[in-house]
Structure 1
Amino acid sequence: MEYIESIERDLDLFKRKALLTEEYKKILEDWCVQAFNKTSGALGGPTFEMDRVLSINNNDKKASYEQKSIETTTITCPENRKIEVVLKHESILNLPIPDVLIKLIKYNSTWFNETVDEKKTDAEGRAVFTDLTVNESYFAEAIDNNLVENNKKLFKAYDELMSAMYTQLNASWQEYKPQWEKGIDVVELIKKFIKGLFDGFISVWDDIKLAYNVITDPVKYGKMIYDGAAKLYDIIGDIPNIDIQASLEQSKDFALHLAAFFSDESAIYLIANAVLLNIKMYPWGNILPELVSLGGNILGDILRGLIFGALLSLVAGPVGLAYMAYRLTSVAQKASGLVKKIWEILKTILKSLTNLVKDFFEKVAKLVHQMKNTLMTKLNKETRAGAKQNTHLEIEHKKETSSGSTHNDTASQSTKKCTKTGCPISMVTGEELLLLDDATLLGVYPFTFQRQYRTTAVEVSSVFGYGWSHSLQHHFTFNDKDETIKWVDHQNLIISLPMPDKAISLSANLMAKTAVWLGEQEQEYLFTSDSLNGWVMHVNRLADNSGKITGFSQKKQHLH
């Protein structure tokens, strides 16, 4: 039977550890990648493409894994006269990229930039530069002359995970296969089922932002999930209400792994394919015609419920059930009887998937631990041999972990990171986001003057009217009592940052993808963010604790 053969071909990809090296690359080249990208962006991804991350003193710059050369943003040298550059793959695993040439370049606004030092990244992907000039501006360039080999190592790092997944998937298939061999043998029905699953698979990426919000803002989004699930309680019975925030606080290491998962396209792809294969394998019997008749959208809801339900079950079992029920509310509107029939089946599949995902994360933790031990052993050997000094330098900086928010206190990323429908409506917050490019100053790094309308800022005034903002409209409030800076940016997003000082000159908000550090002048602060497109904003603190923009810079280009 062709359907059985297709399942075994899918299993073989896991067995041969070829899901990423063959199928993943094929998907990247296929037309359907466009469909994935249309439903992505809420977290800066997934773009369905692996990224590299180059950081200079914890200021990150992302680039495609196929990009040989990457430049960082420009920073000011702190008082310790040290700058640390780190190159890694963006992965739930700890995957540094060693032996890559790093050039540290002194930025000159009026003349040519000067390369002051060159080093290769060590086993931890680090290059540390010392004895630099305090308050001088520097940026770094990474040049990977072993790009192909390093990318092979990237995909190979997931081999052990695929092997473990194959063992579990194959065990399930051996149980289910006999029922398919004697079960439904309607070719057209099977074809429609496969098409529906594929259409549903594309919609899976819509839920990444929502699932991410559940673990980063569990009070608000946990309530939303449970309120949605409650609509099905008369069909499926009650689900215990779990304090998600308390559960996450009890296991902070796992919470960090789960948050990292949502930025790792390879890990998402592996889990999503494992779930898809589980659904294909399960012997649906007489329920199959009803499932097929509902089409891809409904199958997509079931897929999303199972994938992210399995992930959230690791926080606590009932949370995963609640998420799955929340996703089935749209199904119940069209086919409440079917929901009643398949609920117990879905619980069985969810339990199996939860075990698979649990093993996945346990294996990840084990691999990360092994990699760290291997790295430390290598570093210690190098140090003892005196062949090369590899210093592990922890750049001290202040951290904030809250995301940017709108004026109605809804968490949101920058406009370009918010997925929108065909109309300018954010699929993240539900508000209208209208972004207009008015003019562009040409140069090596063009500066585009933009206007934006945001529904949640309708009570906020600007020169263009209520709800509008523009590229030069930024408001700063410096608070010495709690040592924070409140930044209302040009997109009317409210961002909180710890205030840097001479002892710790850098502060970052990783969730909001923003940073601030001390400038060369007294009371000067330099701000940057994902939405500034590489520009650094120079701000002077005023006597009334507000801030005044004095200019923008990017490498040797300045705007005043």
Structure 2
Amino acid sequence: MISLPFNAVFMLNGLYARQPDGQVNIAQFKQNILKDYKEYADGFFTAWALDVDQRLSVSDNRNNELTVLKGDKDARKISGYAACPASGQLKLLHAFESVHFIPIGNTPYQIRQAISSWGEKRQVISGVLDSDGMATVTGCTPNSLYEIAFYPDVSQREVDALHASYEGVIANLHDWLMNEWNTTIIEQWKAMAPVGDPRRLKQINDAFMAGMGNALKSLWDDIKMLFHVLTNLDDYAAMLLKFISEADFAKLKAQAKELLRTALLIVNDEPLMFFYASAVVCWAQLLPPTTVAEMISEFASGLLFDILLGIVLSGGAGLAVRYAVKGVRTVKASGGVVILEKAMQKLIDLSRGHALKRHAEAVEPLAVKGSATVNSSQKATVQIQSAAQGISRVEPDTLPIRRGKAQNTQVSESRKADDVSTPAKTPNDKPADSAQNTCTNNCPVSMVTGEELLTLTDGELDGLLPFPWTRLYRTSAAEIDSGLGYGWSHSLSHRLVQEGDSLIWIDHENRRTVFPIPSVQRPAITNRLSRAAIYLGDDPAELILAAAGDTPRFYHFRRDTGGGYLIAISDAYGNRLELSRDLLGRIRRLSSPSSRALLLRYEGKHLAAVDYQVYRPADNEEACWQTVQTLATYRYNEAGQLLEAANALGEAERYRYDAQNVILERQLAGGAAFYWEWQGEGKMARCVRHWANFQQMEARYLWDDQGGVTVINADGSEEVYVHDENARLIKQVDPDGAQTLKSYDEKGQLIAEQDPLGALTEYRYDDAGQLLAVVPAEDEPVTYQYSGGFVSAVSRGKATWKYQRNAQGDITAQTDPDGHVTHYRYTSKGRLQQISHPDGSIHQLTWNDQGQLIEELLPNGGQRRYRYDALGRQITRQDENGAIT
């Protein structure tokens, strides 16, 4: 993908008011064009996908159709996961996705077992397709998941050949530009009449930038259209006959297999199309503004599409192409249009000598690199016939897999993140996801580590940045006392610890996430596997940590000799909660700008209570903060274990532990009690039985040493959970025997999921970890585009939803597939203020300084009002009919 700014990508800089140094500009084009593409396109050559629309079909020996899926973006492969059929035999077919049979032959392939039994080596089968793009593979393990890869290894020799091919094309484009400069453009400058009004020059320049800019923005849609035209010749016969003769059109149909093979590779070679488009931009910018003014309308009316189609037909298929600007034959053309037509005809004619066929041969190993997966599905056969090609064959009716044009060069923003991925770990050094994302059972026991992950919320600080006061008991933290007793942590117990050149973020769940120390050279570093990131703050002594979530929060730390301590929490709108500390360095108060706070009271080294406070003017700062309610109180034994926690109403729950601080019992205020039995001691203990003092709440856990656990429920049913070395769930078996399988990449991103019915869903990401596509087994894929790190478009089939956002990522405009636009407006603090619906109706919302909704004006004219108490709780609501509740 190409990153913004868009104009820089295509060197679209506007027109010259005076004659430029053409030779210098053209030399710079030749010198910089390849470098520019390599810089803006993520992962050039072996990493980028020269995506070709192709079909990968798989069938078994009985001609049963097998499902196939696309692949991950990082490897630029068609990939997925499914089961080998019962016969253990697969038939492969690799061809372009076209109404004509255009095989991709002699392609090396590799079939790799995706998920094997623990301790067993994954099976790998390699081979080469025949000249018709087919192969029969035997020996795969029935019902085992496999990945099929095409061109899994692209050699440096092939990359070098591709590189040399581009240099040859660029050199030819340079020569065309020089010829145009010396024979036509320089004469236009000599004959140019002065532009007397500078405003006229600005108008011409603005029109050129808009017209050419819009043409370039639609370039990749034009390329998709080119492919569609070439793979549906009869449907576009009228269009094609404007460029080639009837004889050549007949030849193109009759020899589709040979002629279109090269042409389709060229169409899908995005860098090549990029170079030709950039040459046209360079040519136009060398012209005098008055000449450009005569051809501006052409830039926005399919100019690039016509030029590229001509180049593909000429340089790709070897046909004689005639180019004519739209309307030239019916209306007398201006001088600028005639110049445009002649120049583009020369470019198209020259493309026949640009060795594009040899270039296509060089690009094929990279272009068709891909992988697919197999899965038994529907059963049928289909007859493929093409009288023009003389081909008539019956092939298995396998599901055609379009290696869709996952355009890598597009007007979209994808920042390649500085990522250092390592899993977050528990205090006993085991990988662990956040408690919210961890697979748990019952009350709740982690199915990854076997530890208890008891998370409780005792209160909340309301306001523009709501903050829940939560605490969590983690068995692996049994040796750690963070002020709430051994094993417990709370939502403010964050700290940074420096070890050598690394910083360890110990978060509110007592997980350890490792980062390199940020610097001016590395101001932002992500840890995608741990779903976290670290940034330099505005203050040199400040570091900011963030964790992924629906409502991201930023944790601000002040550096000290040991690492760093938490000083504030903020959101994307700059709403901020400040922390103050006592003389011992303990957190004393968490306060908001809306005059609300949580006060933490201690007895000795332990937290005794949390008070909700409001700010009212008084003689000194401390006296201004007045307690409205005590949200929670805590009591401990002499061993430092939390024995009791009571809420604002005095309702308490109690806890009992063994001598090593491992929880044994939890008793609720209502009398319900939960119990644990453990295997191992202290922080290494794993739960082997969990039950309660009421029926149907009992489970036993049988652990293995390969990340698996079997849960035996009270009714005798069993569940199985298996996690990988990064604490990601890879297998789940439900009590009814239904099995779900998942697979992840090295960054911990889910890339494939097989449901109990065998249907596969695949997930594709870009280099920044942004989800590009969700490809289900049967439905249309859902694709995503991004701008500024936020989703800007979602497409499913032919339907597309588009989004505009503010700097904080909130949607300001949403366009549905029918073109209806809904607008959203926000306050400076991030509260939704107005919704403007497509029918013109408006929904308005009013908020107070505390971030509380106090009034709504509905689209139908109705009005609602709300009131709150001192604790931020809603106490009255008046609806649009005047009724108060």
Normalised by the size of structure 1, how large is the TM-score? 0.46
Larger radius of gyration: 2
TM-score, normalised by the number of residues in structure 2:
0.31
By relative contact order (CA 8 Å, sep 6+), the higher-ranking structure is 1
Instruction: Give the structure with the higher percent helix.
Output: 1
More strand by share: 2
